[in-house]
Amino acid sequence: MPSTDLIHRLPRHLKMGELRVFAAVIEHRSFRKAAAVLHLTQPAVTKAIAGLEETLGVKLFDRVANGVEPTVHGRSFAPRAQAVFDELRRAAQDLALLDSGAVGSLRVGVLPLPAVHFVPVALNRLLDEHPGVLVSLVEERETEMLDRLRKRDIELAILRLALVDPGEDLRVDRLFDERLCVVAAQNHPLASRDNLQWPELLEHRWVLPPADCFFFEHVQRSLDRMHMPMPRHAVEAMSIQLQFSMVLHAGMLSFGMRSQVSFAPGKEFVVRLPFELPVTSTAVAAVSLNSHELSPLARRFIGHIQALVKAPPTSAAPARQGVARPLAAS
């Protein structure tokens, strides 16, 4: 079928039901599994794919031993089909928001670290400006967030660039450089010290994340490079909030980020101990699709983060004589 003929035929003859079946088969690589997910019979799935192939004039799937595999035409058509459903879902969300009196929405991919330290403040400022909007936060790993960006499931991702290469199809707005540090409560015995050695820190109680999470592995690799032993933790906690609580209320030490003591909520309650960990800084960035203009809400959100990290640190409440105050951003 000539391409010009297909361009004119496709909008008139494409059926959403067939497109929905195609998306399910692409995801599950099986007519049988797609039928089960869609609550259809397998012959109905076969008929829908045959109808779509007739409309497009190409073969979309090859049968293999354990199911089906998309042909080169099927692989080419798949992201376009998914984009159709993404746009329909967005349209439904926008209509629902308008019906409820809101004026827009923003979907942002985040990681607990580093986002938990500054995203709440930036979002609060955004919502002060635009009280009618809805912001959805999606927690994912770095690589999964990039996939969601390319599928347009999220508009923006806040992540560290240490583990991912965003690629030329993505725009990177660098926000700040994050750096690992040791944090303690303002009233911790070590907070009054001007300098510390690593063996001294190891004598105290620590709260650490589980050994199978990225942050623990990052800390361990960093210390291994300098032949420095990991602390022996007294408490293991995955939640950043729980770790912060153990630092404040149980007098434990923990690994943190410079944002935690420079511009994050609660920074007045913790100090960055005067021991420089021998690790390089990692960039934190807002990543988005190059091919799509950022919405005004996304631009304002990035602007609030940039303003937050560039602002001079505010003075903490008066501390007792000799107690260290939070260190400024490095």
CA distances (Å), 250 to each of 241, 275, 289, in order?
13, 21, 44
How many domains does the chain divide into? 3
Cα–Cα distance for residue pair 182/195, rounded to 1 Å: 13
Instruction: Provide the domain limits for residue 41.
Output: 3-84
| Residues 69 and 194 occupy one common structural domain | no
| Residues 155 and 191 occupy one common structural domain | no
- 161-213 residue pLDDT tens: 876 778 888 999 988 887 788 999 989 999 988 889 999 999 999 999 888 77
**Other beta carbons within 10 Å of 330:** 11
Buried b / exposed e over 143-171, threshold 16 CB at 10 Å, is eebbebbbebbbbbbbbbeeebebeeebb
Q: Which CATH number belongs to the domain containing residue 136 in this structure?
A: 3.40.190.10
| Residues 275 and 288 occupy one common structural domain | no
| Residues 189 and 274 occupy one common structural domain | yes
Whole-model pTM? 0.55
Q: Which CATH number belongs to the domain containing residue 270 in this structure?
A: 3.40.190.290
- 115-127 residue pLDDT tens: 667 788 889 998 8
Q: Which of 82-91, 92-101, 111-120, 242-251 has the highest mean pLDDT?
A: 242-251
